[in-house]
């Protein structure tokens, strides 16, 4: 097989004008000054081919330390021979991750980074770009404050909170001299079994777009060199969240129209707002691994979306073109495919053959030097933009707010707003004074189920060890309901349990709080055969129900594990989408009534594992055709009742490029203060492509005192009502649209003019 086979979603000749223009030579960057652009060009001219190949390489930090890769000595110590090999001989330009099985604070990171940067400056004279996955706080830096995972952040429907959380993460990373974060993930998760569902902002493209933009603002702000700013990395470009089977990195089949409707707008928006890097989708779409998809990586990303920044591969993905995807018969062919497609930097992880093979390909004339210069220029431009030539490290002593009370408060808020109250029959919650509680279940005394993966390790298995000072649900409830809580695990993820003894304890209490769900996982390790909850949890639950006591079901899980029968037998149901280390406290506050819940579902909670139909389904997908969720997208209860006045349109007609405003008055009819997210949906009544039942178009979160009212105004233009037509163009067709907020509706007529 030749290296050019399987190379793109559409055939576009390698030597086409467009390809040359997009791929070759040193560009100028609109995000740099003229002086900075001249500097980038001079750096590209100065570097040797070997150094350029090194710049395009990113290795795992483990390769610098004593011990075996992924099992380092503790404490981790640099192996100076390895440092010489990676930074001296191979002249690698980028490093990621953290030293395996070692977790250290900012002081130690400062030392680590100083050595790396000094070595790089002494050899190539180009600073290293160091990146990390800090997806819910700086989760590899000891002492950093973690918070809700992205699915929980999405459940908050709170844009300003999202931005603050991201800014906090950027500050923590800078305190450890790390200038680049592999976040936000904006993978619209359309298959809930996908084990990275919780890493995304849920199933809706607008929610992903909006939360992604808020995070981007928090990470990068206006000056990415600032102490509380880092370079963001949009991931995973694109279509990663919808593998057909629900298993990670398994084939996705996405027609181009769908791709443009659900998987490009969030990137287009973030690129427009200044995102400086993207990471490439590790999966395959329509039989083409994205790392070899020149149409997507060059024609679309560069040509259409106008992306000027850096496109980094995902973990080991260039090699995977050879032995996982089998579209390249050897590693050299894999390198050529990915570089031809438009990748700038290869995350080679533990391997170092990429720069060697790349250099050979250029020497053999298989890849033009001008193509390499293009990518190297992008990499240098990013290093310039991040201020790394001027400042390589940041003194942790200057970061007083690291691990502060302010950060802890933000983490608690994220947890409180991530928790979704799904059912509360007979207003069982908040719990009544004096009620005794039997607390049980595998997620009740376990930090992993509250934090998920990317928590002091990739799979999050160290959550309990490193977050020991935080409270599990059990610890938090025992503190909050002093003397009123009896606990037995009942059924466990890992241990044999005495269920009979647990049931005996349960009999003596007034209410049963049963915490079910999942432990932590991510990526392929989190694949499941069945979205249903495991049978041991279900059986145990039924035995508890048989006691006839009121049940509060707490579902702590990174994806909507099916709980239809269970929810029917509970008086109250809460969903905890990995709300982070303060989730125990947050839940205690909600159960006691100290906090009024305000989370809303960022995805559809299915009724059955084979009934996976998202909220924005087609009109034919009514109940009999699949959409009959247990709890719908946007569902979420409060202890207050929020009511809406009629929708007021500034005009019943929208013409051409004008806009109209939609206002609604929201009233808190309850007797306690509460937060509430107002969600505006639209429906295109007739369209040339079968229209969606509803699409989220705008949202805003309010906080209202008891009895208080507030008017919310949204602005809508034709673009907000658009869709991708049969020819793959974004259009808005004239005609009638229904706008909806809760139970209120208004009709808007669009006239193209
Ligand atoms: C994941 C990415 C992550 C990268 C670096 C990969 O396995 O897919 O999301 O950024 O590793 O840790």
CA 133 to ligand 1 centroid distance, Å: 7
Ligand 1, pocket-test mutation among 279, 280, 345, 526, most atoms within 8 A of CB = 279
β-sheet bridge partners, residue 420? 575
Q: Give the pairing type, strands 642-644 and 653-655.
A: unpaired
Q: In whole angstroms, give the CA distance from residue 316 to residue 294.
A: 18
Instruction: Calculate the alpha carbon distances from 622 to 513, 619, 625 in Å.
Output: 34, 6, 5
CB of 180 within 6 A of ligand 1: the answer is no
Average pLDDT over residues 724-750: 97
Mean pLDDT of the chain: 95
Question: Which pLDDT band holds residue 494 (cuts at 50, 70, 90)?
Answer: confident
CB 633 within 8 A of CB 727: no
Alpha helices in 342-466 (DSSP H): 353-363, 369-385, 405-418, 448-451, 463-466
CA 97 to ligand 1 centroid distance, Å: 9
Q: In whole angstroms, give the CA distance from residue 616 to residue 694.
A: 5
DSSP letters spanning 486-532: EE---S-SSS---HHHHHHHHHTSSEEEEEEE-----GGGG--S-SB
Q: In whole angstroms, give the CA distance from residue 56 to residue 62.
A: 18
CB of 458 within 6 A of ligand 1: the answer is no
Average pLDDT over residues 456-479: 92
CB of 315 within 6 A of ligand 1: the answer is yes
Alpha helices in 523-593 (DSSP H): 535-545, 564-569, 583-592
pLDDT in tens, 116-148: 999 999 999 999 999 999 999 999 999 999 999
CB of 112 within 6 A of ligand 1: the answer is no
* Structure tokens given for 319: 């090699």
CB 286 within 8 A of CB 254: yes
Q: What is the dihedral of CA 295, 301, 302, 304, to 10 degrees?
A: 90
CA 562 to ligand 1 centroid distance, Å: 28
State which ligand 1 atom lies nearest to the alpha carbon of 199. Answer: 9
Q: In whole angstroms, give the CA distance from residue 566 to residue 545.
A: 9
CA 314 to ligand 1 centroid distance, Å: 6
Q: Considering the chain, what percentage of its residues have pLDDT values greater than 90?
A: 93
CB of 320 within 6 A of ligand 1: the answer is no
Question: Which pLDDT band holds residue 11 (cuts at 50, 70, 90)?
Answer: very low
Q: In whole angstroms, give the CA distance from residue 677 to residue 673.
A: 14
Total Cβ atoms within 10 A of residue 268: 18
CB of 314 within 6 A of ligand 1: the answer is yes
* Structure tokens given for 699: 């949202």
CB of 237 within 6 A of ligand 1: the answer is no
pLDDT in tens, 389-428: 999 999 999 999 999 999 999 999 999 999 999 999 987 9
Ligand 1, pocket-test mutation among 315, 453, 521, most atoms within 8 A of CB = 315
* Structure tokens given for 552: 């509060």
> Does the pLDDT value for residue 72 go beyond 50?
yes
Take atom 6 of ligand 1 and give the residue whose Cα is closest: 315
pTM (predicted TM-score): 0.96
Q: What is the dihedral of CA 80, 81, 87, 91, to 10 degrees?
A: 170
pLDDT score of 18: 52
pLDDT in tens, 204-221: 999 999 999 999 999 999
CB of 456 within 6 A of ligand 1: the answer is no
CA 525 to ligand 1 centroid distance, Å: 13
CA 100 to ligand 1 centroid distance, Å: 15
State which ligand 1 atom lies nearest to the alpha carbon of 279. Answer: 10
Q: In whole angstroms, give the CA distance from residue 239 to residue 236.
A: 8
CB of 684 within 6 A of ligand 1: the answer is no
CB 269 within 8 A of CB 206: no
Choose, from 314, 373, 445, 585, the residue flagged as catalytic. 314
Take atom 7 of ligand 1 and give the residue whose Cα is closest: 315
CB of 187 within 6 A of ligand 1: the answer is no
Take atom 5 of ligand 1 and give the residue whose Cα is closest: 315
pLDDT score of 22: 58
Q: In whole angstroms, give the CA distance from residue 219 to residue 178.
A: 12
State which ligand 1 atom lies nearest to the alpha carbon of 458. Answer: 12
pLDDT score of 21: 55
529 in catalytic set:
no
Count the alpha carbons within 13 Å of 550 in the hemisphere toward its beta carbon.
Answer: 19
Average pLDDT over residues 573-593: 98
Worst-scoring range by mean pLDDT, 4-8, 76-80, 228-232, 531-535? Answer: 4-8
pLDDT in tens, 289-344: 999 999 999 999 999 999 999 999 999 999 999 999 999 999 999 999 999 999 99
Take atom 11 of ligand 1 and give the residue whose Cα is closest: 315
pLDDT score of 20: 53
* Structure tokens given for 644: 């809406």
CB of 240 within 6 A of ligand 1: the answer is no
Question: Which pLDDT band holds residue 3 (cuts at 50, 70, 90)?
Answer: very low
CA 456 to ligand 1 centroid distance, Å: 14
CB of 133 within 6 A of ligand 1: the answer is yes
CB of 182 within 6 A of ligand 1: the answer is yes
CA 279 to ligand 1 centroid distance, Å: 9
Ligand 1, pocket-test mutation among 231, 281, 314, 318, most atoms within 8 A of CB = 314
CA 553 to ligand 1 centroid distance, Å: 33
* Structure tokens given for 24: 């070759």
* Structure tokens given for 153: 């952040």
Residue of 571, 681, 591, 583 whose CA lies nearest to 632? 681
> Does the pLDDT value for residue 7 go beyond 90?
no
pLDDT in tens, 610-655: 999 999 999 898 877 778 999 999 999 999 999 999 999 999 999 9
């Amino acid at each position: 097989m030749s290296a050019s086979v399987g190379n793109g979603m559409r055939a576009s000749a390698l030597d086409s004008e467009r390809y040359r223009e997009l791929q070759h030579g040193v560009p100028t960057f609109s995000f740099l000054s003229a002086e900075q652009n001249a500097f980038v060009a001079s750096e590209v001219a100065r570097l040797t081919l070997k150094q350029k190949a090194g710049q395009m390489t990113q290795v795992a930090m483990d390769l610098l330390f004593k011990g075996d890769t992924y099992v380092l000595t503790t404490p981790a110590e640099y192996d100076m021979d390895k440092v010489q090999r990676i930074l001296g001989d191979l002249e690698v330009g980028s490093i990621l991750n953290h030293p395996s099985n070692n977790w250290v604070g900012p002081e130690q990171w400062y030392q680590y980074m100083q050595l790396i940067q000094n070595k790089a400056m002494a050899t190539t004279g180009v600073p290293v770009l160091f990146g990390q996955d800090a997806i819910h706080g700086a989760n590899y830096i000891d002492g950093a404050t973690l918070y809700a995972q992205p699915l929980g952040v999405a459940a908050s429907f709170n844009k300003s909170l999202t931005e603050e959380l991201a800014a906090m993460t950027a500050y923590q990373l800078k305190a450890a001299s790390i200038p680049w974060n592999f976040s936000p993930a904006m993978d619209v998760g359309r298959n809930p079994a996908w084990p990275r569902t919780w890493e995304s902002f849920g199933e809706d493209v607008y929610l992903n777009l909006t939360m992604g933009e808020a995070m981007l603002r928090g990470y990068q702000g206006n000056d990415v060199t600032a102490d509380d700013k880092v370079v963001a990395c949009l991931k995973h470009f694109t279509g990663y969240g919808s593998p057909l089977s629900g298993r990670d990195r398994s084939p996705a089949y996405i027609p181009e129209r769908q791709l443009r409707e659900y998987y490009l707008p969030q990137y287009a928006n973030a690129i427009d707002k200044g995102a400086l890097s993207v990471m490439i989708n590790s999966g395959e779409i329509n039989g083409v691994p994205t790392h070899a998809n020149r149409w997507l990586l060059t024609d679309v990303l560069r040509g259409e979306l106008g992306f000027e920044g850096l496109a980094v591969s995902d973990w080991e993905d260039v090699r995977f073109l050879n032995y996982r995807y089998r579209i390249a018969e050897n590693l050299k062919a894999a390198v050529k495919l990915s570089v031809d497609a438009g990748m700038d930097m290869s995350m080679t992880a533990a391997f170092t053959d990429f720069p060697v093979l790349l250099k050979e390909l250029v020497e053999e004339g298989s890849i033009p030097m001008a193509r390499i210069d293009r990518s190297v220029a992008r990499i240098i431009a990013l290093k310039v933009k991040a201020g790394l030539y001027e400042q390589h490290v940041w003194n942790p002593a200057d970061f007083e707010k690291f691990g502060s009370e302010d950060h802890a408060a933000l983490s608690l808020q994220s947890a409180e707003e991530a928790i979704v109250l799904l059912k509360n029959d007979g207003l069982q919650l908040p719990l009544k004074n004096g009620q005794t509680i039997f607390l049980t279940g595998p997620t009740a005394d376990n930090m992993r189920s509250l934090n998920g993966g990317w928590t002091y390790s990739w799979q999050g298995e160290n959550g309990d060890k490193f977050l020991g000072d935080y409270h599990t649900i059990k610890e938090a409830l025992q503190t909050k309901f002093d003397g009123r809580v009896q606990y037995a695990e009942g059924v466990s993820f890992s241990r044999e349990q005495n269920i009979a003894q647990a049931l005996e304890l349960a009999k003596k209490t007034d209410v049963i709080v049963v915490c079910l769900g999942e432990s932590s996982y991510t990526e392929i390790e989190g694949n499941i055969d069945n979205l249903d909850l495991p049978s041991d949890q279900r059986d145990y639950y039924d035995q508890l129900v048989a006691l006839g006591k009121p049940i509060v079901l707490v579902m702590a899980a990174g994806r909507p594990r099916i709980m239809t029968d269970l929810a029917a037998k509970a008086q109250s149901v809460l969903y905890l989408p990995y709300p982070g280390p303060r989730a125990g406290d947050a839940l205690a506050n909600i159960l006691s009534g100290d906090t009024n819940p305000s989370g809303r579902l960022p995805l559809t909670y299915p009724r059955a594992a084979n009934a996976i139909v998202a909220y924005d389904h087609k009109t034919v997908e009514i109940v009999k055709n699949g959409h009959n969720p247990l709890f719908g997208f946007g569902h979420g209860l409060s202890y207050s009742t929020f009511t809406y006045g009629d929708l007021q349109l500034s005009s019943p007609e929208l013409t051409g490029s004008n806009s109209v405003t939609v206002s609604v008055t929201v009233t808190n009819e309850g007797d306690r203060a509460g937060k509430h997210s107002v969600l505006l949906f639209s429906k295109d009544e007739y369209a040339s492509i079968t229209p969606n039942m509803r699409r989220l178009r705008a949202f805003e979160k309010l906080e209202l005192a008891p009895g208080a009212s507030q008017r919310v105004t949204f602005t809508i233009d034709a673009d907000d009502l658009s869709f991708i037509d049969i020819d793959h163009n974004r259009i808005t067709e004239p005609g009638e649209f229904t706008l909806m907020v809760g139970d209120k509706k208004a009709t808007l007529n669009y006239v193209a003019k």
